[in-house]
Structure 1
Amino acid sequence: MMQALPGLDGEGRWDIPARLNMARQCLTGDPDALAVIDLTGPMRRDVSVAALSKMVDGIARALLARVQPGDSVGVLLSQSPWCVAAHLAIWKIGAISVPLFKLFKHDALASRVGDSGAEIVLTDAEGADLLGQLAEPWLAEEIGVAGAPMPFANTGPEDPAVLIYTSGTTGTPKGALHAHRVLTGHLPGVAMSHDFLGQEGDCLWTPADWAWIGGLFDVAMPALALGVPVVAARMAKFDVEECQRIIAKGAVRNVFFPPTALRMLKAQGATIDGLRSVASGGEPLGAQMLAWGREALGVQINEFYGQTECNMVASSCGAAFAARGGCIGQPVTGFEIVVLDGDAPTDGEGDIAVRKGAASMMLGYWQRPEETAAKFRGDWMLTGDRGIWEIGFLRFVGREDDVITSSGYRIGPSEIEDCLLTHPAVATVGVVGKPDALRTEVVKAYVVVKQGAETSAAELQSWVKERLASYSYPREIEFLDALPMTVTGKVIRRELKHRAMMEGAP
């Protein structure tokens, strides 16, 4: 039988007050309670709720001299107490935080900073170097914590709070604008995916960066809101031995592992003792991986499902029901999910959709009303995924678009194509995902070189790495004489996708 879940009332409806501020949600616990276990330095450092509050107030005080409620402020910080303090300070004064990823290069940062209008970015020395002249960097650690406590802005649940960019198949990345209710909307799904998170001794960590919704709202902020210590630990790239060391040093009992991390653990024969829950999301795992998890990790891996626009809408929960191999769980209480055939729900395969009114659903795409409208069909938000019901469980069938899922990252092909087209030797290009056993997909680019020009795969790979992000560069590049095109000159990605799938078939 399902226990009561946070964020909901006794009837399973959203419990959202008329005035709501996410910073208050995260900072109103016992002042002496442990909030963040900082493993980013050589020694473990424990940060209490009171100490975190002082960090938040120091940043908030500095921001108020330059920032108005509703203004966008970037946060370019890896896992650390200062990362959560920066977001909380921005929310506390009623401004909008914009998470930015340290692996982004100039062009990727420029598109997000420019589109959001963020004139100030809270960061560190490394992030300041990455930003260059794109915005004014404020070194969060140097702002200071002295002064009287700052008041919380009198925000409501529908007031904008965080702008998270997501990759699509066309154009530049879109910003999904979320309100202060978004944290409440994550709480029931996070609790389910960790077998009712908040038990005595619980301590949460993920190797996923806190610049993504999966790190920030599946782990860091829900942990603070539920009074569960969260571990901050940086890994430049996933390493099995370092992962085991972090879990041991931080006394971690609850982990969100992206599927690629689980595959790497499995491939190296790793085992981890002492875990109470393991959650995973982003890609279906399958029965074999679930069986391995029970043996090597000692728990049922709880798969969950969602996306940046509306997250944590379905989940498994080993403490309440057995997982079904190949499925991504049952609807989380508070969310209504359907599979649509046209405009009508169906028991067969169709479009996965979530009813409007869910607390974790975005307000809309930042300054893109037409694309926001296209995301909805009547009362339903379309996820862009295809699915089917199996005895109350949701099975993911595939995506409707060309978004590439690689090592847990959702990568839009358009941004990579645009970057490659700036290379002086490239005439046309098409980017797709190619099936890969470890990463689910790898980015593959099909390139036509300009007549008389010369380049190489290594040169083009470096071109993308230096401008976008090291995780999104094309791991494979194939040079062709021509690409399949429509009569209007648009690359037909589906033909390239079919070609890549045939190449990746076992």
Structure 2
Amino acid sequence: MAGPDAFESLRRSFRWDIPNRFNIAEAICDRWAARDPDRVALLVKRPGKSIEPKSYGVLREDSLALAAGLKSRGVAGGDRVVLLLPQGFEAAVAHVAIARLGAVAVPCALAFGPDALAFRLADSGARALVTCASGVATYGRIETPPALDLIVSTEGAENGALDYGALVAERGAVETADTGPDDPALMIYTSGTTGAPKGALHGGRVLLGHLPGFRLTHAGFPAEGDVAWTPADWAWAGGLLNLMMPALHDGVPVLAQPTSKFDPEGAFVLMAEAGVTRAFIPPTALRLMARVERPATGLRLRSVVSAGERLGEASWEWSRTALGVPVNEVYGQTECNYVIVSSAAHGASRPGFTGLSSPGHEVGVFTGDGRCAAFGEIGEIRIRRPDPVMFLCYWRQPEATADKFEGEWFCTGDQAAVDADGFFRFVGREDDVITSSGYRIGPADIEDCLARHPAVALAAVVGRPDPLRTSVVKAFVQLKPGVDPSEALGEELSHFVRDRLSAHEYPREVEFVDEIPLTTSGKVIRKALRERE
């Protein structure tokens, strides 16, 4: 049996088994290091160099040493430590070391400028910063930098930073903190697309909460010869919890490539060279990969998962031929992630739909008056607590935390509809839904349609205020290389959508842009586009 009925059977039989004591360092490192210290944990691909394997044994030794170095310099359990690092072995070591201390890792994107970094350092009350040379330089550009007890640089002592290598070379050791699943372990800041970023504080159980859905979407995981990879920044919940930590937890090598910009052509080459079998690739990255004319061959992919924005039917269909496997879409937020999943291997995958409520998670769609939405009716996605992936709170913001709940339901602010089989169709954030002539229009369907046009690289849709219709649909379009913008092309794109969707959904305005603004996790910043009006 496969399909919604099989999924419902999995849901009914599922039970969480959360231990009384849990530490991420033991879960993703120590138990494997004790069993097989030579087992490969990381595969590091640096520019111009061969892939370098790093074992669980070395990960344990280096993380013990780094934890001891941090502890001897004042970092203790509960302290926040900001990580400003690219993908790489040092980033994995730092996460394990911080977990050992019972401290809280605060991963931040290396692409952040001085203002963004300063906000997160100050708001989190960080005790220390572990970074690289470019991160030290960014900190140095902060006009009034928040006080830190220490800065550790992976590229040598400079500008007051301690040398990571020297710290690890001290070869100190510490006892791993005796922590529970609800003890704070990770704080991941929201993207800030709808307001100031907030620190979503998670207990160590957040990793355990991701594992069942992760194994469903990567059917048969782990399997002999598996190699896992994502181009997503490990500072994002997607990169960190949708791939890196679950893979290490299950003993599968994680491919790490320290890079600042996604290279779609290089992604094919990298996956072929490293023999990647399991990948997490955000929708924007997939759309960019679909533009590659002659992708590298020899892929060994067994499963691909995508999240962050709606995948879209065009990407869903493209993956089957170009990648050789369907893409399984998942949904979640920084505060509560991986709660809706699709799985082609289990017969639970439909083009245009995100998926089904994952076993162990209770997800519903509710109208504004708190009523459970009817089949096909658009409403807000809500998730019932308690749930292992649910955040503990927004850091130092009890009122904002309380505002996110209606009783036991976490209110996501995202709009969706559910069909009779329980499949969720994502529409967009409440802020992004366009009201035009009485219709409620989600931008995702229009963006997906525009992506099917041969001239379009990326598209983003917003509502422009209109005195007659309340709002009209406006599309911002990034064209493929070699395609010139024109008024005629704009009209062609409008008709392209109207012919395929409906008369009320087509963009009445099309504006061509050099680049669609994206967050570091690959989400369209529609707020920036609305502010252009």
Is TM > 0.5 for Structure 1 vs Structure 2?
yes
* Matched residue, 1:489: none
Residue 67 (structure 1) shift: 1.1
Q: Secondary structure at the match of 2:309?
A: coil
> 1:393, CA displacement in angstroms?
0.9
Give distance in 2, aligned partners of 1:397 and 1:150. 49
Shift of 1:394: 0.8
Correspondence for 2:413 among 377, 384, 393: 384
Contact 2:11 2:358 in 1 (8 A): no
1:160 equivalent in structure 2: 184
Aligned residue number for residue 385 of structure 2: 356
Greater shift, 305-314 or 40-49, is seen at: 40-49
| 1:275 aligned residue | 301
Q: Does 1:26 align with 2:28?
A: yes
* TM-score, normalization by structure 1: 0.78
Instruction: Select which of 356, 369, 393 maps to 2:423.
Output: 393
Contact 1:263/1:438 (<8 A) preserved = no
Q: Which aligned pairs between 1:277-292 and structure 2 lie closer than 5 A?
A: 277-292=303-318
CA RMSD of aligned residues (A): 3.4
Q: 1:184 aligns with which of 204, 208, 211?
A: 208
Q: Could you say what secondary structure the match of 1:267 adopts?
A: coil
Query: Secondary structure of the equivalent of 2:426?
Result: strand
**8 Å Cα contact 1:233-1:246 kept in structure 2:** no
Which residue of structure 2 lines up, in the alignment, with residue 366 of structure 1? 395
Counting matched residue pairs gives: 432
* Per-residue deviation, 1:402: 5.4
- Output the TM-score relative to the length of structure 2: 0.74
Shift of 1:130: 1.3
Give the conservation status (yes or no) of the 8 Å contact 1:270–1:296.
Answer: no
Summarize the alignment of residues 167-246 of structure 1 with structure 2, pairs less than 5 Å apart.
Answer: 167-168=191-192, 171-246=195-270
Residue of structure 2 in register with 1:493 after alignment = none
Distance across 2 between alignment mates of 1:474 and 1:319 = 33
Match of 2:136 in 1: 128
- Map residues 316-465 of structure 1 onto 2, 5 A cutoff: 316-341=342-367, 342-347=369-374, 348-390=377-419, 391-401=421-431, 435-436=475-476
Question: How many angstroms does 1:64 deviate by?
Answer: 1.1
Q: Secondary structure at the match of 2:343?
A: coil
Kindly state the Cα deviation for residue 10 of structure 1 after the two structures are TM-superposed. 10
Counterpart AA for 2:372: P
Contact 1:104 1:470 in 2 (8 A): no
Take 1:343 and 1:190, find their aligned partners in 2: how far apart are those partners? Answer: 31
Cα distance change, pair 156–474 in 1 and its aligned pair in 2 (3 A): closer
**How far apart, in 1, do the equivalents of 2:358 and 2:226 lie?**
21
- What is the CA distance between 1:435 and its match in structure 2? 4.1
Unaligned runs of 5+ in 2: 155-163, 434-442, 452-459, 463-472, 480-513
* Structure 1 pair 472–204 and aligned structure 2 pair: CA distance change class (3 A): closer
Q: Is the contact made by 1:240 and 1:270 (CA closer than 8 Å) also made in structure 2? A: no
CA distance in 2, matches of 1:111, 1:184: 30
Task: Name the SS of the counterpart of 2:269 in structure 1.
Answer: helix
Residue 100, structure 1, aligned to residue 108, structure 2: yes
Identical columns (%): 42
Aligned partner of 1:53 in structure 2 is 60
Change in CA separation of 1:170 and 1:329 when aligned onto 2, cut-off 3 Å: closer
Is 2:78 the counterpart of 1:70?
yes
Partner AA of 2:285 in structure 1: A
Q: Give the drift of 1:147.
A: 3.3
CA shift for structure 1 position 266: 1.2
Deviations 1:10-47 (A, max 9, x none): 94122110011111110111322110001125222101
CA distance in 2, matches of 1:63, 1:9: 43
